Amino acid sequence: MSLVVQKYGASAVTGLDQIKDIAKRIIDSYNSKHDVVVVVSAKAGETNRLIEMANYVCPGQEGRDYDVLISTGEQLTVALLAMAITSMGYNAKTYLGWQVPINTNSLHAKASIENINPDNILHDLKRGVIAIVAGFQGIDTKGNITTLGRGGGDVSAVALADVLHADHCELYSDVEGIFTADPIICEESCKIKKISYDEMIEFASQGARGIQIRAIEYAKRHDVKIYVRSSFTNADGTLITREDSSMENVVVSGVVYDKNEAKIAVMGVPDKPGTAARIFVALADNDISVDMIVQNVGQSGISDITFTVSKTDLDKAYQLTKSIADDVQAREVIADKNICKVSIVGLGMRNHAGIASKMFSALAFNNINIQMISTSEIKVSVAIEEKYTELAVRVLHEVFKLSGSTN
Amino acid sequence: MSLVVQKYGASAVTGLDQIKDIAKRIIDSYNSKHDVVVVVSAKAGETNRLIEMANYVCPGQEGRDYDVLISTGEQLTVALLAMAITSMGYNAKTYLGWQVPINTNSLHAKASIENINPDNILHDLKRGVIAIVAGFQGIDTKGNITTLGRGGGDVSAVALADVLHADHCELYSDVEGIFTADPIICEESCKIKKISYDEMIEFASQGARGIQIRAIEYAKRHDVKIYVRSSFTNADGTLITREDSSMENVVVSGVVYDKNEAKIAVMGVPDKPGTAARIFVALADNDISVDMIVQNVGQSGISDITFTVSKTDLDKAYQLTKSIADDVQAREVIADKNICKVSIVGLGMRNHAGIASKMFSALAFNNINIQMISTSEIKVSVAIEEKYTELAVRVLHEVFKLSGSTN
């Protein structure tokens, strides 16, 4: 008897008939001699609908009662899923966050899991029950309902898999796994069978869908194996797991892109210490994350500072930057939404020189101008003009020979 | 400082703007030096929507997970109401059933309150908090969410008023109070200022709207004063309270009618002991409530048995009755949806002879034929042909001089 934790995302529970389909899938797993613990999201659109209502009656409040409201989304789907399983003659039982309990800190709307008591669920599993747990929610030490923020459902599933000592955790969404490149723009792309936590964190943070970074980081810390699979097919998914020796043989695992960033360039900044710091402190104080940063010091101590922020933060970031730039008498500030970040990711890069230069040459050969560059130990990212996105992905997929390589 | 419990029904929380209106009303009460505890229903239509979903995924199941689903309706409205009050600068806090806690037995979908611990709420009231409690729901000894069934929200409010030793309980709906007759069909009707629990139980069970019988019975047992008021006006409502000496002076307090009943007549039943019992046991076994019953023994031991059931139960009740009637060789079974029950209610009837005969004469004088009669100590009901309903109500309202009598 093995134990699996399955997590179904919003797209899997959007309609009542889909919920019945998922119920059958879960029963199949159960009948394959698995103890099954299921974590469910709210249906697609429901959380946004609840947030809109909250903003109408009390704009900007994300406190105790906000979480009471938002947590109804998962409460609805766990109940319907458990009832669907019951109607098929199997024994299912719902657990809300406070009933597990999933204990969190008190940061409403973005709480973190502190610990989970697995005893109630383990007791029910022994009796043959299929446990259906509301993801994304928990309870703090004062007995208040909390929610974990975006991606919290994935974190709930991974954390449960950890404390229940599950064989692995299956994350179901509408993508079939992790691909060497987005199959929509790159026909040659193939599904990756196995990938390390670190690579997956880079994939997810550079734009790949299917799983949230917080959940991968949690899984890495607690060594929980994850399968990313589609709830609409029976295809094998991608296993996200601890790095093994075979993985380093693959120099580049995949190409990802992210169109959600925008660029701000501060041109002609007089060379006075602390200008860059002033800008980035102001952005951080306003909860604006900065991704890539490049600073060029030109002639006579005049420099340019260029960085990227999320497109949704662009207007606010531009205003903050502009007022500091004016203050230090910089020449001008340029905002540009028309960019895309394209990245190559791979554990093997650590031991292979020349990967970055191979990337830059391939792009140059295809007349794609590189505007910014950032690197990590296992990733190289470039910002390019947005219209070259698809071309760049295909070029890099080919030059690193990713077609047919499924690890 | 006094303490009031206010309960807002489904019609009061249907839209987000209505929720904001209610928030202002509650703040007004709070500013009049009241501690305020608010109980809220799900918005109009929400509970039915949830029940429809439940029936689609698992028809006929009203167990543990059904209550997890249904209880989201109130969770949504308490959260939105508390947030609306917070946005107006006041301190509000939500309580779900398990957070009060409101302890119930484990009869899912129709649980009864066993006890309520008022300490958490009292602690918050002392700090100036407005407590917003989800009605209709509780928790059993195993930590499962339970719901109280239809009308449970009123019961929650009355039970809270009891344990909190509130000055009174205000039940807000879309009716302004209890009237001597339905104002829609009787222009002369007037609002009753004060009425006893027993009369109100008869009013509610004979068809008057505004409050559920279970809640009145609970209030009577625990001596909780109730005001029935409208959430759409500032008009004084009707006080439901313990009987006092002035009340017996009013012979008839009001006229009510109920079009939701249907009649079944079993004609020509051979006089064999136990036939009536067989019918009523069969109906009870199928959860069909019988209201009025009349049995006439005619010549040569042949009798007729006539009774009323709810219109929604008519088809099933007819089939059950017909099969027993055939078995005992009764002549025929007639079903009739075309009836209405009209009742007069009043404490003073106990000391006044001739009230029933005055009622029957008035109806006869207006050519309204009486098909069945049933009486209690403080009520006389008759079943008549449905088309005479409005006429009968107006005739009785006039003959008992109810216009201008507001107790």
Domain with residue A136: its CATH number is 3.40.1160.10
What does A35-75 look like in DSSP terms, one character per residue?
EEEEEEPPPTTHHHHHHHHHHHHSTT--SHHHHHHHTHHHH
Q: Which domain holds residue A58?
A: 2-173
B72–A76 CB contact, under 8 Å: yes
Which residue does chain A place closest to B15, by CA atoms? Answer: A53
DSSP A211: S
Q: Within an 8 Å CB–CB cutoff, is residue A64 touching chain B?
A: yes
Residue type, position B82, single letter: A
Neighbouring C-beta atoms of residue B318, cutoff 10 Å = 17
Structural domain includes residue B6: yes
Indicate the residue among A129, A151, A173 that finishes a domain: A173
Gyration radius of chain A over CA positions: 23
Query: Among residues B100, B129, B104, B127, which one has the least CA distance to residue B114?
Result: B104
Structural domain includes residue B122: yes
Q: Phi and psi dihedrals of A274, rounded to 5?
A: 95, -5
Structural domain includes residue A405: yes
Structural domain includes residue A192: no
**Chain-centroid distance, C-alpha B94:** 26
Those of residues 300-329 in A touching chain B at CB distance below 8 A are none
User: Are residues A173 and A230 in contact, defined by beta-carbon separation less than 8 angstroms?
Assistant: yes
Greater model confidence, A57 or B272 = A57
A83–B57 CB contact, under 8 Å: yes
Q: Beta strands of B71-143 (E only): which ranges?
A: 92-95, 102-104, 113-116, 130-134, 137-139
Look at residue A299 in the predicted model and tell me its pLDDT.
Answer: 67
Number of domains comprising chain A: 2
Structural domain includes residue B254: no
Domain with residue A270: its CATH number is 3.30.2130.10
Q: Within an 8 Å CB–CB cutoff, is residue A53 touching chain B?
A: yes
Structural domain includes residue B63: yes
Q: Within an 8 Å CB–CB cutoff, is residue A146 touching chain B?
A: no
Q: Are residues A368 and A266 in the same domain?
A: yes
Structure confidence at residue A406 as a pLDDT band (50, 70, 90): low
Q: Give the pLDDT mean for A278-286.
A: 91
- Contact residues on chain B for A95, CB-CB shorter than 8 A: none
Alpha-carbon torsion angle B80, B85, B86, B90, nearest 10 = -160
| pLDDT tens-place string over residues A313-340 | 999 999 999 999 999 999 999 999 999 9
Structure confidence at residue A251 as a pLDDT band (50, 70, 90): confident
CA distance A4 to A26: 10
Q: Within an 8 Å CB–CB cutoff, is residue B96 touching chain A?
A: yes
- Contact residues on chain B for A146, CB-CB shorter than 8 A: none
pLDDT in tens, chain B (407 residues): 799 999 999 989 999 999 999 999 999 999 998 999 999 999 989 999 999 999 999 998 889 999 999 999 999 999 999 999 999 999 999 999 999 999 999 999 999 999 999 999 999 999 999 999 999 999 999 999 999 987 899 999 999 999 999 999 999 988 889 999 998 899 999 999 999 999 999 888 776 676 888 899 999 999 999 999 998 888 889 999 999 888 888 889 999 999 999 999 999 998 777 888 899 999 999 989 898 988 877 667 788 899 999 999 999 999 999 999 999 999 999 999 999 999 999 998 888 878 999 999 999 999 999 999 988 889 999 999 999 999 999 999 999 999 875 55
Query: Does pLDDT of A274 surpass 90?
Result: no
Q: Are residues A18 and A163 in the same domain?
A: yes
Indicate the residue among A132, A150, A173 that finishes a domain: A173
Structural domain includes residue A358: yes
Alpha-carbon torsion angle A202, A208, A212, A215, nearest 10 = -50
Indicate the residue among A111, A142, A173 that finishes a domain: A173
Q: What share of chain B is helix, strand, coil (3-state, %, to 5)?
A: 40, 30, 30
Query: What tokens does A36 get?
Result: 């099954």
Neighbouring C-beta atoms of residue A378, cutoff 10 Å = 19
The reported pTM is: 0.85
Structure confidence at residue A405 as a pLDDT band (50, 70, 90): low
Look at residue B363 in the predicted model and tell me its pLDDT.
Answer: 94
What does B15-46 look like in DSSP terms, one character per residue?
SHHHHHHHHHHHHHHHHTTEEEEEEEPPPTTH
Contacts of residue B33, defined as CB under 8 A and 6 or more positions apart, other chains included, come to B1, B2
What does B181-220 look like in DSSP terms, one character per residue?
S-TTT-TT--B-SEEEHHHHHHHHHTT--SS-HHHHHHHH
Structural domain includes residue B161: yes
Which of A251-285 are b and which e, b meaning 16 or more Cβ less than 10 Å from the residue's Cβ?
Answer: bbbbbbbbeebbbbbbbebeeeeebbebbbebbee
Query: What tokens does A197 get?
Result: 């936590």
Structure confidence at residue A311 as a pLDDT band (50, 70, 90): very high
